[in-house]
Structure 1
Amino acid sequence: MKKPYLLLSLVSGLLCWLAWPTMPLTLLIFVAFTPLLYITDKVSHAGKYFGLIFLSFLVWNVASTWWVGNTTLPMSGVFANVFNALLMSIPWMAYRQTKHRLSPNAAYFALIVYWLTFEYIHQTWEFSWPWLVLGHAFAMHPGWIQWYEFTGTSGGTLWVMLANIIIYNAWKRARIYDATSKELLRYEAWKPLLVIGLPLLISAFIKPAPDNPDKKTSIVIVQPNIDPYDEKFNNGTSMEQLRKLLQLTSQKIDSNTSYIIWPETALFPTGAWEHELNYQPEIIAIKELLRKYPKAKLISGAATFKLYNSTDEVPVTARTLNDGARFDAYNSALQIDTSNSVQVYHKYELVPGAELVPYVRYLSFLQKVALDFGGISGSYGREPGVNMFTNPKDSINIFPVICYESVFSNYVAEHIKPGADLLVIITNDGWWGRTEGHRQHLRYASIRAIETRKWIARSANTGISAVIDPAGNIHDPQPYWEQAVFSTTVTPRAGNTFYVKNGDLLSKGALIFCILLIIQSLISRFIPGLGYAKGN
């Protein structure tokens, strides 16, 4: 393997890292893949090519998300980085094969199609890891991507891939024709400037509709700062944690407060039965507080258990009690008020390995393999609870997003479509300590706000808690790993964006073209001349 190609591979991975949130050099993402395009043109040996592509993506993954392994089981992070780099290599290997069959421009189109298809699948299967979706690269700059309300993050992915291809071809043509700097500026430079600059210009003219001042809603967000390793999931500490949460809430709640937001698994860290929630001492204590402020409702994370009757259809994730009864464990969100009704939402997008054994329905013996990162080992259940929290009295519908779910563009859009007016994100970002993980996670929430044009209230156990407006701007961020509570206002907003109404049209279109390209590849094996003949 020649050293220049090895160096180019490393440079590509490092450019991706330097462009990634929360690093300051975002614009580098527009050239980060140009070394890989050059390698594709020059390296003919399939094994060497794969090694170079894989190395580049491994550098990007490790440099940007090394903190995934900053847990009690570091090998989980090693596997995640290696496996994700391997998956990222597949679209480029497909692109290499396509170059032999199609014209150069058609092959570039195929590369974009393959990558968009990869990202789409990576958000929908059980090995999902959309953390490094290219559209997330602009999370630090919400003003650049106001048009995400039409395209979602796949629009950003298209922007990145197209810019890299245009810049690479401008450089290649200048090199082939030995163009001077003046000629390069005159004949080629306008193309990448147009591709990069036009979306920025469009974004400057797109603004979310103004809030209705009559609908401002007062909320209290609590950040208890409970150590997830040494305190949170210890038996016998749940009531102590509850007292801390209630004490913090009491500092800011008043008669105008409509919602109190507590973080992920703030209640019942070791689990509580859903059919007995109203009898739990934590719920009773919360209702005592709410009776003093009858306008208020509390939204909190919780670990819950659902018991199945003998007549119920039992999912594969169910566990078995000593008496043979079947039940599921859930990472849940609860909405509590003074009534006897506790609304329960179940987290669906689960972290592979930590909360979910992928495809356990086919590999049931792996049920106990899930890593114990949240107080309850084994795969969590994925059966739905309520679709959103409804509040007929004030006509506000809230979609609760639990931790990892906020990274999923498609999932959030799909679930607010029925009529959510406000997003609440509850999370526990203390697992990875003072790394980029919790900062990236916060920034991705800005993109969800733009895509949906909803206000977001974010409560994080150890931080960063904040509110985010529909333009993606972050307000009142609380210091990480510090106890905090604050009162603020948000504005529930009815109506849906084009992206929420219509879904990810770019990725769906890419999937169709990907299928057509695969069919064309298969047919071309039997019909000579169907592919592109070099020299034509």
Structure 2
Amino acid sequence: MKNLLLCVLSSVLLWLAWPTMPVTPLIFLGFLPLLYITEKVRHRTKYFGLVFLSLLLWNVATTWWVGNTTLPASGVFANSFNALLMSIPWLAYKNTRKRLPEMMSYFALIVYWLTFEYIHQTWELSWPWLVLGNAFAGRPGWIQWYEFTGVSGGTLWVLLANIAIYQVWKRARIYDLSAAQILRYEIWKPAAIIVIPLLISAVLRPSPDNPAHHTGVVIVQPNIDPYDEKFTDNTAQQQLGKFIRLTNEKADSNTRYIIWPETALFPAGAWESQLNYQPEIMAIREMLRQYPKARLITGAVTMKQYNPTDEVPASARYMQDGTPWEPYNTALQIDTSQHIQIYHKYELVPGVELTPYVRYFSFLKTLALDFGGISGSYGRTPAARLLTNPADSINVFPTICYESVFSNYVGAGVKEGANLLVVITNDGWWGNTEGHRQHLQYARIRAIETRRWVARSANTGISAVIDPAGNVYQPLPYWKEGVINTNVTPRYNYTFYVKNGDLISKGAIIFCILLIVHAFVSRFIPGVRHAENNQ
């Protein structure tokens, strides 16, 4: 019963520390019960069950909303599967304690967890929502140093602090230390681990913006119900009229960008080769003639046919005549010219927009959940990486919904030359839950990592602008239509993180490989194994 209560305690601490709950410092205590259980529970099956239960409860408490759809079973699977994957680093840590000294086994836990998080952002079953460094999304003043480390630096911070505090508690028990002795001799170690990053963050601030580079943006939040209105037949023109009306409320001669949310255009799909002839595009260009310096960035559902000479991806579909084609979750940049810039969403939501590894399991091709519009998996064929604006020397990196959660993906886009970030999303699928609030908070981390302004247009909210220090301005209330008219500033310098990538995770992968090699060798060479501590 004691171990069961400890599992629940761990999940509660992690939940209370997670955005948008108010007790962020509890993240430095959340893994203490699991560290204790790892030492005390010998039976492997029992240990796995306790760890899995704790991580499952944490997943459910923080991301239960992924099942708040027409298919609740999807949430059950997502939370259970993610908890199972999270258990792997802990099982590896438990096994490592048999071969390595205690402090080295702690190092191994950090390495295993960082490796897990990195892999979980790069494979087709990705779900980086609960990357530990995301815990500080609502506390941008604590993590200004993410411009050097990225979000994995926050993960390292969390794990180091938990281990250091656990060691203080353990030594206090072993040596029966008094409170005065703990404060005098022990507490300085975890205190330093926690406080030093806070002090560094206090003196780090992005360089001031150049007023000459201020760029006017208009962000539209139409508040169109994704279930009952967005993908309803024969409503596309009415929705377009709403977008144009809201835009005209705030756009003016200083506007350079107008931003509409994900899938704002063509909910039933439009062929990319025929975009210039679509009534919606013609109406948009007519509107833009009032604002000749403005460009419109909007979400859309587009489709592409493949020619006989093209390389056809495994995810392609086929018409009755055998012609291969694919739909895309797309961002378009439209101006008064005949040139439309097209960006295809790449980081697709597993099970919703992407059937993972369909190239190996083609019979699963049509199993992606139907969230309106075109059902089944979307394509990932690359289009333009950046939406360019040579007249104003601006390159926009557009991230569509889920993509804004990927630290490495956004950093790579900025490294290619983006000086402004745009997030277009439709968070209305999950209702008025923590999902849309957490999603907004994570965009603050992208702003800090890249030191870029973020303009965020969400169909049902929360739309806002975020400065390079992670501060949120003019957030529009959830489930209310509205328009933002403000200035952002394109920035041209690169942070250490953007220039060098996620060095912490890369280092962890190298050490993880070495630990795996050591584990393999230790099975066959006597004397390599290290007896597990019995404290």
Cα distance in 2 between the residues matched to 1:470 and 1:333: 23
| Secondary structure class of the residue paired with 1:268 | strand
Residue 480 of structure 1 aligns with an amino acid whose one-letter code is Y
**Residue aligning to 2:362:** 364
Residue 38 of structure 2 aligns with an amino acid whose one-letter code is T
Q: How many residues align?
A: 534
33-42 vs 370-379, which deviates more?
370-379
Cα distance in 1 between the residues matched to 2:53 and 2:147: 34
> How much does 1:168 deviate?
0.3
| Secondary structure class of the residue paired with 2:430 | coil
**Mapping for residues 383-422 of structure 1, pairs under 5 Å:** 383-422=381-420
> How much does 1:374 deviate?
4.0
**Mapping for residues 320-331 of structure 1, pairs under 5 Å:** 320-331=318-329
**Residue aligning to 1:235:** 233
1:163-202 Cα distance to aligned partner (Å, 9 max, x none):
0000001000001001111111111111111110110011
| Secondary structure class of the residue paired with 1:8 | helix
> How much does 1:207 deviate?
0.6
Cα distance in 2 between the residues matched to 1:112 and 1:279: 55
RMSD: 1.0
Cα distance in 2 between the residues matched to 1:474 and 1:161: 28
> How much does 1:533 deviate?
4.7
1:71-125 Cα distance to aligned partner (Å, 9 max, x none):
0000000000000000000000000000000000000000000000000000000
| Secondary structure class of the residue paired with 1:470 | coil
**Residue aligning to 1:265:** 263
| Cα 1:338–1:164 shift into 2, 3 Å | same
Residue 25 of structure 1 aligns with an amino acid whose one-letter code is V
**Residue aligning to 1:292:** 290
Q: Report if aligned partners of 1:127, 1:352 keep a CA contact under 8 Å in 2.
A: yes
Q: Report if aligned partners of 2:464, 2:484 keep a CA contact under 8 Å in 1.
A: no
Cα distance in 1 between the residues matched to 2:509 and 2:372: 35
**Residue aligning to 1:13:** 11
Cα distance in 1 between the residues matched to 2:149 and 2:264: 35
Q: Any gaps of 5 or more consecutive residues in structure 2? A: none
Residue 374 of structure 2 aligns with an amino acid whose one-letter code is I
**Residue aligning to 1:222:** 220
Residue 216 of structure 2 aligns with an amino acid whose one-letter code is S
**Residue aligning to 2:336:** 338
Residue 101 of structure 1 aligns with an amino acid whose one-letter code is R
1:141 and 2:139 aligned = yes
Q: Report if aligned partners of 2:11, 2:54 keep a CA contact under 8 Å in 1.
A: yes
> How much does 1:289 deviate?
0.8
Cα distance in 2 between the residues matched to 1:372 and 1:412: 27
Residue 276 of structure 1 aligns with an amino acid whose one-letter code is Q
> How much does 1:534 deviate?
6.1
TM-score (norm 1): 0.99
Q: Any gaps of 5 or more consecutive residues in structure 1? A: none
> How much does 1:453 deviate?
0.1
Q: Report if aligned partners of 2:114, 2:505 keep a CA contact under 8 Å in 1.
A: yes
Cα distance in 2 between the residues matched to 1:202 and 1:518: 35
1:277 and 2:272 aligned = no
**Residue aligning to 2:48:** 50
> How much does 1:528 deviate?
1.0
Cα distance in 2 between the residues matched to 1:79 and 1:521: 32
1:436 and 2:440 aligned = no
Cα distance in 2 between the residues matched to 1:76 and 1:43: 32
**Residue aligning to 1:160:** 158
**Residue aligning to 1:188:** 186
Of 203, 207, 214 in structure 2, the residue corresponding to residue 205 of structure 1 is 203
1:12-39 Cα distance to aligned partner (Å, 9 max, x none):
0111101000000100000000000000
| Secondary structure class of the residue paired with 1:376 | coil
**Residue aligning to 2:107:** 109
**Residue aligning to 1:304:** 302
Of 247, 250, 253 in structure 1, the residue corresponding to residue 251 of structure 2 is 253
Of 505, 508, 525 in structure 2, the residue corresponding to residue 510 of structure 1 is 508
State, as a whole percentage, how many aligned pairs show the same letter: 70
Q: Report if aligned partners of 2:97, 2:532 keep a CA contact under 8 Å in 1.
A: no
| Secondary structure class of the residue paired with 2:115 | helix
TM-score (norm 2): 0.99
> How much does 1:333 deviate?
0.1
Q: Report if aligned partners of 2:257, 2:295 keep a CA contact under 8 Å in 1.
A: yes
Cα distance in 2 between the residues matched to 1:376 and 1:111: 43
Q: Report if aligned partners of 2:97, 2:531 keep a CA contact under 8 Å in 1.
A: no
1:200-238 Cα distance to aligned partner (Å, 9 max, x none):
011001010110110000010000000000000112111
**Residue aligning to 1:423:** 421
